[in-house]
């Protein structure tokens, strides 16, 4: 049997930290936090080490509903469940695909307090980090009912997006600093392709917006090319981008974005509007 690294063994600090956070997660992940006098420290990234990228074509043993009707959103957004009827007061309308460490969702939350925002992340430890971060934020802002409208689930948007969302349910989709998959034979694994754009168009309402940002010019050109070639998307102007608050938040909120800023790198932004379905006579 292969021995675990010492840093991950039962006697290590990281192991103890993860066990403690996992216990908190089990207790608080799906409950409504109305008030709390005890503060919870925000999670520390060094205890959630994970590879930078994950193969989207691998079998990740993910849990997903058979259809949107089977998805129980009350577990992720208990504050938005009607206590009398048990029905959800709102549906998810904003999705951050490949949300990373959740910085975008955290900054979007107060800007859209009445809309549910979901982050989808395929990496286990990164998902755990975001869950623990949201638990801490909800607990520490319980009196203001802050951050009740954001949550994360571990999922593969390249395979199961229509399992979670109805047709035309989303108003905004974010693709922030996705894996560039530099090698040509890996381009099929990029998050923006002709086939995937048709799925995004299915769950995105007419007039909805796809937001993209990357520091890789080749990937930016790839995403722009595929979106411009798709009949259901039209690029929005740079003037529109300069006036949109989500673009401002997206440019500075993510961990990758902050890393690019520290290195004085470039950021390439492109936003596309979902066009109406063509009328077939």
254 known ligand binder? yes
* Tokens describing residue 55: 């193969």
pLDDT number for residue 5: 44
Mean residue pLDDT across the chain: 88
Mean pLDDT in residue range 204-227: 97
Q: In terms of pLDDT, which residue wins out, 237 or 13?
A: 237
pLDDT number for residue 189: 83
256 known ligand binder? yes
pLDDT level of residue 27 (50, 70, 90 thresholds) = low
Q: How far is CA 82 from CA 33, 77, 79, 88, 89, in A?
A: 15, 11, 8, 6, 6
State pLDDT tens for residues 115-150. Answer: 999 999 998 899 999 999 999 999 999 889 999 999
Find tokens 């168009």 and name the residue: 201
* Tokens describing residue 139: 């607990």
pLDDT level of residue 3 (50, 70, 90 thresholds) = very low
pLDDT number for residue 6: 39
98 known ligand binder? yes
Q: Are 201 and 238 in contact (CB under 8 A)?
A: no
Mean pLDDT in residue range 181-210: 92
pLDDT number for residue 4: 44
State the Cα–Cα distance between residues 75 and 239, nearest whole angstrom: 39
State pLDDT tens for residues 36-89. Answer: 668 888 888 877 776 665 665 565 578 889 999 999 999 999 999 998 999 999
Of 114, 179, 244, 266, the catalytic one is: 179
Query: What's the predicted TM-score (pTM) here?
Result: 0.86
∠ CA(275), CA(227), CA(94), 5° rounding?
A: 65
157 known ligand binder? yes
pLDDT > 70 fraction of the chain, expressed in percent and rounded: 83
pLDDT number for residue 281: 72
Q: Hey, what domains does the chain have and what are their CATH numbers?
A: 64-274 (3.40.50.150)
pLDDT number for residue 40: 86
Is 179 catalytic? The answer is yes
255 known ligand binder? yes
């Amino acid at each position: 049997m292969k021995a675990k690294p010492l840093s991950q063994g039962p006697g290590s600090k990281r192991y103890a930290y993860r066990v403690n956070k996992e216990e908190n997660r089990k207790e608080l992940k799906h409950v409504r936090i109305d008030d709390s006098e005890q503060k919870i420290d925000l999670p520390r990234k060094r205890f959630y080490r994970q590879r930078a990228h994950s193969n989207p074509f691998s079998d990740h043993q993910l849990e997903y509903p058979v259809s949107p009707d089977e998805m129980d959103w009350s577990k992720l957004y208990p504050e938005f469940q009607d206590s009398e009827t048990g029905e959800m007061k709102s549906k998810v309308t904003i999705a951050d695909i490949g949300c990373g460490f959740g910085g975008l969702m955290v900054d979007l939350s107060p800007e859209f307090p009445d809309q549910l925002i979901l982050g989808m992340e395929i990496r286990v430890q990164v998902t755990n980090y975001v869950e623990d971060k949201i638990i801490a934020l909800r607990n520490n802002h319980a009196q203001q009912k802050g951050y009740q409208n954001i949550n994360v689930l571990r999922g593969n948007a390249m395979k199961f997006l229509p399992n979670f969302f109805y047709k035309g349910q989303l108003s905004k989709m974010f693709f922030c600093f996705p894996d560039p998959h530099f090698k040509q034979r890996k381009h099929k694994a990029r998050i923006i392709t002709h086939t995937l754009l048709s799925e995004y168009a299915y769950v995105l309402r007419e007039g909805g917006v796809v937001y993209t940002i990357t520091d890789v010019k080749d990937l930016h050109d790839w995403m722009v090319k595929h979106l411009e070639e798709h009949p259901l998307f039209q690029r929005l102007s740079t003037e529109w981008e300069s006036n949109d608050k989500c673009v401002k938040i997206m440019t500075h909120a993510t961990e990758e974005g902050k890393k690019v800023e520290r290195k004085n790198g470039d950021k390439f932004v492109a936003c596309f509007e979902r066009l109406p379905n063509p009328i077939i006579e």
